[in-house]
Structure formats: C-alpha cells, structure tokens
C-alpha cells in the first residue's frame, strides 16, 4: 500500500472513530449504561459538567450515570442529544467541539433543560481512541461556555 | 488494489452510505415526499412508530407520510431531526442507533412534540443499503425505549 | 495509486470536508467569530436567512454575526444546532441539505426560537470547499421552506 493511501485512509478512519465515540455517549447515557459511558473515557479521563463539578476517572464518571440526578432524569424520560462534531486531528491526539442538548420528559411534553457547549480532548491509546477530557458548559450567556467553542 | 485497502475503503463507504440513508429521512419527511421516504426502506421493510402502530411494506410506509397526521404536521410546520447514528457494521447487515426529535410549529413557536429512541436494522441489497426495520419509541420514561438504545 | 482508489478516497474526503464545513458554522456563530463564519463562505458567497434578508459577500455575512440581533442572542445565551447533512457531490460542486435550530436562553430555560430548512450550495476552489450560497427558511408551514429540503 502506498504511504499516501495509508495516511489518507488512516485520517478518514480516525475521524470516523472519533465521531462514533462521541455519538455513542447519548445512547449509552439514555439507556443507563454507566460502565459503557465510563468506557468511552481513558482510565484517568475527566468529565467536567457545567454546574455539576468535575468527575475524574472511570469510577467517578460511572457514578454520574448511576447517581440520583441522572437516574431521576431517566425515570422521567430523557434524551442526550449531541451534534456532529468539528474535529481537529493531530496525530494521536484530537480536539472536537459540538453542542449538547438534554431533553426531559414531563406530562407528555419534553423540555430542553440543558443546552451546552462541549470540548472533547481525545487520545489514541492501545485500546483505540478514548476521551481524555470532556468539558461541558451551559450556553446561558456565559463567556466561558462560548470560549469552549472557539 | 490490495485487499486490505479495498476492505477499509468499503467499510468507510458503508458507514457513509448508512449515515446518508438515515440523514435523508428528515428532509424527505418534512418535504412530504412519501415515495422518497418509502424508498429508504426495503420492499418488505417495517417502520414501527411508537404510539402509532407498525407500517409494513413501502405502501404502508408511504401512507404514514401522505396520511392526515403527517399532513397536519406539515401544514403547521414541522422538522424531523435525527442525530448522527452509532453504526455497527456486520458485512451486508448493520444496526444503527440514534435519537429523533419532531418539532411542531404553532403561533410563531416550535415545540418538541416527540423525542424518541431509534434502532435501525439495515441490509445491503442489489440497490445498495436499505432499511429493513426502524423501531421508534418515545423517551417518556419507558424501559422499552431505553432498551432500543442499548 | 490506482485511479479507482484515488477516486474513492477523494469522494470520501470531499464528503468529510463538506460535513466539517457545515458543522463549523454552529460553534463559530455561538462563539461570535464573525470572520470565521464569513470564511466558511466564498468571497462572493450569499447567506439568505429566512425573515432577515440576504447577505452577499463576506463583509455582509460577518456583519450578521457582529450585528445587534446576533449579539443580543449571544448575551442571552444561544446554540446554533445543525443536523448532519445529506450531501450530493458532483465533481467540484455539491448541494447539501439539513435542518437548523436556534435555542435561546432566558431565565434558566432554553426555547427553540428558529427551526429551519437549509440548502447549501458548495464549491471547491483553490482554498478547498466553501459555501457559495446558503438558503435558510423557517419551517413554519411555508411551502417554500419545504421545497428547500426536496
């Protein structure tokens, strides 16, 4: 295989893998798969959720899903929506940016209870692409949230 | 072409084709193209819409679009939003999972009147990738809807 | 590199580049990067925003972002959501269709204040893919908006 073909295939596959990794978050979260969500992250990955603190490591991230806030959301009915990310690849590292929306069900209606900016730092390890850090901040007029997208 | 290159190109093209197939649903539905929506499905494809029964075959699926419920949505103004799917490829078959949101317009505002889990079973035939079955269930706290995403 | 491989890689890369170009709009708009938004468009690109007139050329497009309507949105908190587009490639030209939703924050809640159909005409120039024209029309029951998606 010519080197140029290998390099171009690899770049396409990397972008596809990262898009898939991010797309998996919503279905895993909404089906309550705490281990699955944690497994998107590296062992020492960090998930900083705007207004809800910072979870460091897979056990802490799994606890976000198995904890009372998320379980209450699931009982009511919820959807964690993520938009198709903008991806900057740099060898074995990448940064991706996208929006997220959490819809919560109540009395036959759904409300967008969180609309947020997301910045993902990703790294390729032995197990493939994983999330090193996800920062999530509410788009409520805060300049810090806008910075995540720039 | 080396076999490995052919295989990797094919996988990338398959994922692209499936993403495109699913992305076509929203614009076809919102422009009222009943034949176009039906044509995304195999001849004997099934579309099970949460709370609205199961349409089997292209004629039944087209009737969902040309029928009074969908036509009333279009008259008011609607948007059928689908998120970028998680795709599991297995040769000539695939399973994809994503969320869907239907927005309905009323008096200058839009409301998310359906927020749902979707599981697509896809198959490659002579005419390329088509939908064999789409299950759609409202994310209203039901365990069955959550299962579609897991 | 065999011609067939080059052609298939090119098609995959073109679709990826166009998806990325469209995905960049939301984060650029929500971070207030007027030059960045304008740079998605060709020098003489056109952005026709339903209900808000037509901006021709990069200076006019940048003015949409730096102008009072968009700045007020950003001060309140906003998210410009775009769905994964359906892309028709034709050599150095392409047409893409998707939905867009603008969420506006107010008093701890978000409302979908614009839900729209989008048709993008894209062209490949010396600087890569750029937007030649984006038409955006509110999905408020108008037949013209539906036509953009068909």
Q: What is the mean pLDDT of the segment spanning B5-28?
A: 97
pLDDT class of B150 with cuts at 50, 70, 90: very high
Tell me which residue in C30, C110, C112 faces A117 most closely, judged by beta carbons.
C30
Q: What percent of chain A has pLDDT over 70?
A: 100
Amino acid A104: pLDDT: 98
Choose among C112, C21, A96: nearest CA to B101: C112
Record: contact A87-C20, CB cut-off 8 A: yes
In this prediction, residue B54 has a pLDDT band, given cuts at 50, 70 and 90, of very high
Interface membership of B79 toward C (CB under 8 Å)? yes
Q: What is the pLDDT at residue B17?
A: 98
Picking from B15, B81, B86 by the largest number of A CB atoms within 10 A of its own CB, the best residue to mutate is B86
**Structure token pair of residue C150:** 């068909």
List pLDDT tens digits, range C71-115.
999 999 999 999 999 999 999 999 999 999 999 999 999 999 999
Cβ within 8 Å of residue A5, ≥6 positions away: B5, C1, C5, C9
| Chain C residue closest in CA terms to B20 | C86
Confidence tier at A2 by pLDDT (50, 70, 90): confident
Predicted confidence (pLDDT) per residue in A116-144, tens digit: 999 999 999 999 999 999 999 999 999 99
User: Per the CB < 8 Å rule, is A150 touching C110?
Assistant: no
Q: Which of A9, A97, A111 sits opposite C27 (nearest CB)?
A: A97
Chain C CB contacts of B79 below 8 Å: 99, 101, 115-117, 139
- What is residue B19's predicted lDDT score, i.e. its pLDDT? 98
Percent over 90 (pLDDT), chain A: 95
Predicted local confidence at residue B2, as pLDDT? 81
Residue A57 distance to chain C (closest CA, Å): 28
Chain C residues 85-144 with a CB less than 8 Å from chain B: 85-87, 97-99, 101, 111-113, 115-117, 138-142
Partners of B89 in the beta sheet? B94
Q: Are C43 and C62 in contact (CB under 8 A)?
A: no
Question: How big is chain A by its Cα radius of gyration, in Å?
Answer: 16
- Please give the helix or strand (H or E) that residue C16 lies within, else none: helix C3-30
- CB nearest C12 (choices: B16, B75, B76): B16
In 3D space, the residue among B20, B35, B4 whose CA is nearest the CA of residue B85 turns out to be: B20
User: Are B139 and B116 within 8 A, CB to CB?
Assistant: yes
User: Is A84 in CB contact (< 8 Å) with chain C?
Assistant: yes
pLDDT band at A3 (very low <50, low <70, confident <90, very high): confident
Of the partner residues B83, B117, B147, the one whose CB lies closest to the CB of residue A82: B83
* pLDDT of B91 higher than 90: yes
Query: Do the beta carbons of residue B20 and residue A19 sit within 8 Å?
Result: no
CA C30 – CA C37 distance, rounded (Å): 10
Ranges of chain C whose pLDDT falls below 50: none
> Which chains, if any, share at least 3 CB pairs under 8 A with chain C?
A, B
A51 band by pLDDT with thresholds 50, 70 and 90: confident
Question: Minimal Cα distance from B18: which residue of C?
Answer: C86
What is the sign, positive or negative, of the torsion defined by CA atoms of B76, B138, A110, C115?
negative
Dihedral of the alpha carbons of A103, A107, A109, A113, in degrees to the nearest 10:
-30
Mutate which: B4, B16, B30, vs C, most C CBs within 10 A: B30
Angle at CA of residue A143, ends C34 and A67, nearest 5°: 125
Two structure tokens written together for A40: 């998107």
**Residue of C5, C86, C136 to mutate for B, most B C-beta atoms under 10 A:** C86
Q: Are A25 and A80 in contact (CB under 8 A)?
A: yes
Contacts of B12 (CB under 8 A, 6+ apart): A9, A12, A13, A16, C12
Phi and psi dihedrals of C32, rounded to 5? 75, 25
Considering only CA atoms, which of C143, C104, C132, C101 is closest in space to residue C21?
C132
Spatial CA neighbour of A113 closest among C71, C105, B64 = C105
The total number of residues written for chain C in this structure: 150
Q: Determine the Cα–Cα distance for residues C14 and C18; give it in Å rounded to an integer.
A: 6
Give pLDDT, residue B149: 97
The whole-number pLDDT of residue C138 equals 97
Q: Of the candidates B36, B45, B61, which has an alpha carbon nearest to the alpha carbon of residue B131?
A: B45
CB pair distance less than 8 Å for B139 and A105? yes
**C26 with A115: Cβ contact below 8 A:** no
What mean pLDDT is reported for chain B? 96
- What's the pLDDT at C131? 98
pLDDT of residue B116: 98
pLDDT in tens, A72-119: 999 999 999 999 999 999 999 999 999 999 999 999 999 999 999 999
Say if CB A87 and CB C20 are below 8 A apart. yes
Which residue of B5, B86, B113 is in closest CB contact with A23?
Answer: B86
The whole-number pLDDT of residue C40 equals 98
Q: Which residues fall within 8 angstroms of residue C19, CB to CB, at 6 or more apart?
A: A84, C84, C85, C87
Which one of A5, A20, A25, A31 makes the best mutation probe of the B interface by having the most chain B beta carbons within 10 Å?
A31
Alpha helices (runs of H) in chain B, residue ranges in sequence order: 3-30, 34-39, 58-66, 68-76, 143-148
């Amino acid at each position: 295989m010519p080197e140029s073909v290998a390099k171009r295939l690899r770049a396409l596959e990397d972008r596809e893998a990262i898009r898939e990794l991010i797309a998996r978050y919503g279905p895993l979260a909404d089906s309550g798969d705490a281990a699955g969500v944690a497994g998107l992250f590296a062992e020492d990955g960090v998930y900083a959720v705007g207004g809800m603190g910072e979870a460091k490591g897979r056990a802490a991230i799994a606890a976000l899903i198995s904890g009372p806030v998320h379980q209450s959301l699931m009982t009511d009915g919820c959807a964690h929506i993520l938009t198709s990310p903008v991806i900057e690849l740099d060898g074995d590292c990448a940064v991706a940016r996208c929006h997220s929306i959490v819809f919560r069900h109540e009395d036959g209606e759904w409300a967008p209870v969180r609309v947020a900016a997301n910045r993902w730092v990703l790294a390729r390890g032995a197990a493939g692409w994983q999330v090193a850090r996800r920062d999530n901040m509410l788009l409520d007029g805060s300049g810090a949230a806008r910075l995540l997208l720039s």
